Amino acid sequence: MARACIRFLRNGEPVTLTDVPPMQTLLDYLRLTQRKTGTKEGCNEGDCGACTVALGSIRNGALVYEPVNACIQLMGQLDGKEIITVEDLDGNHPVQTALVKHHASQCGFCTPGFVMSLFTLHEKAAKQTRAGVNEYLAGNLCRCTGYRPIVDAALEALNTPPAPRDAAALAALQDAQDIFIGDDESFIASPASLDSLAEIYESFPDATLVAGATDVGLWITKQMRTLPRLIFLNRVRELQALHDGPDGLEIGAGVTYEQAEEAFSALHPDMARLLWRIGSKQVRASGTIGGNIANGSPIGDTPPALIALGATIELRKGSHTRRLKLEDFFIAYGKQDRQPGEFVSRIFVPKINAKASFHAYKISKRFDQDISAVCGAFHFAADGPRIAFGGMAATPKRARKTEAALAQGLEAALAALAEDFTPLSDMRASAEYRLETARALLKKALMERDGLALTQTRVLAAREVVL
């Protein structure tokens, strides 16, 4: 029997909700239902961080707090979590005291978001560098104070250890029960297992799957779409599993960017560098590798690298499972090889051979919190090169003609890029810029393969090393 409610903690206090509108965001719940208006609404699309709250989870038995954007966090994602907002801090939290002392707030609109991001950093009880704090705060925008005093305050607050917290109450909320709230026309479903997910999605193939909601949230807040039937993936335990085996990584589709960081780092430093460039801390705490693939975006950041590495994906529909190469999943703009009722369950990424060389680059107007204009990945292995690009075509795509032309030399390969791709001009970049950039990235990858130091090829190498 499915449970017909969601349960979570609000700063340690249990909350049970039986009547939850499927599309309700956490921000609307806090501000409109609870009248807790300390959490601010700025952009309402995950960019500014004014709505940041701390989301507590039990991970490997430990209590972990991460910053999330309440504006694109849906209520259905909250079961088994703890929410802490700025109202839950008493005004004397080390982060708040330091922000006041360093005059790190002027109009104050952004301040609750900064406080909550820094609260989650403080909870980690780890030493931080200035660059580390900057990276942590990349998803929080302040338009009047300037970041120097905010970062000074953060560094000072980190000298005080966090108060001990008890994980027991949150641990007690973890269960293996499916959730179903509503009726066949409009519902929140939150299956707890892969079998339950397969069953309900096969019954309602037109329902919307929600993983991290960093895309789906915007369909609600910006595109004003009506999504009456939502199936949440974040309680499906098999989708949260990540196994680092001798042959490669097996990544559950619901693994977040943040959770994948360590394994990606071990796979190759460029994979970690790529993850750090995705959105902000808040986006990476919610967005999933499966969502980044399944959304079929031509400018998603992980698919080009995963294609170059030879990744495969597992899809499941009902009791049937199939596996295909990731590069074959993307058919055309907005069209993937996925049947109604079928979902992405796992991603397999082979290890990189010690003799191979791998390079991945993201080019965007800003370093943090920006979408790629071009994303290129290059894998030079014994069985031939594998090159893939994002932002150059209607899908993430392999550069097969370029790969073949490399045997004839650099000039032939550079010319072949124009046969592989006819990029578009849009607000991020012109077609000419994209093609020129793709050529430059290919040259750079070849120079790095041939031994040129990263400090010579990468303008941002110094910062990347600090991160």
The mark string for 229-248 relative to ligand FAD (x by CB under 6 A, - otherwise) is ----x---------------
Return the residue nearest ligand FAD (CB atom).
291
At 404, the amino acid letter reads: A
* 388 sits near ligand FAD (criterion: CB under 6 A): no
CA within 13 Å, CB half, 76: 34
Q: Which of 17, 43, 167, 394 binds ligand FES (CB under 6 A)?
A: 43
Instruction: Map the footprint of ligand FAD across residues 269-288, applying CB under 6 A.
Output: 278-279, 283, 286-288
The mark string for 336-375 relative to ligand FAD (x by CB under 6 A, - otherwise) is -------xx------------------------x-x----
List residues bridging with 166 in a β-sheet. Answer: none
- The least distance separating ligand FAD from the CB of residue 287, rounded to whole angstroms, comes to 4
Residue count at the site for ligand FES (CB under 6 A)?
23
Piece of 28-36, 140-148, 290-298, 321-329 that binds ligand FAD (CB under 6 A): 290-298
* 309 sits near ligand FES (criterion: CB under 6 A): no
* 286 sits near ligand FES (criterion: CB under 6 A): no
Pick from 57, 109, 45, 47: which is nearest to 82 by CA? Answer: 57
| Sheet of strand 179-182, all strands in order from the earlier edge strand to the far edge | 179-182, 187-190, 229-232, 208-210
343, interface contact from ligand FAD, ligand FES, none, CB < 5-8 Å by kind? ligand FAD
214, interface contact from ligand FAD, ligand FES, none, CB < 5-8 Å by kind? ligand FAD
Say which residue the tokens 């110094």 belong to. 462
Name which of 48 and 189 has its Cβ closer to ligand FES. 48
Length of the chain: 467
- The least distance separating ligand FES from the CB of residue 392, rounded to whole angstroms, comes to 29
* 376 sits near ligand FAD (criterion: CB under 6 A): no
Contacts to ligand FAD by CB under 6 A? 45-47, 208-216, 218, 233, 253, 278-279, 283, 286-288, 290-292, 294-295, 297, 300-301, 343-344, 369, 371
Contacts to ligand FES by CB under 6 A? 41-44, 46-51, 69, 71, 105-111, 142-145
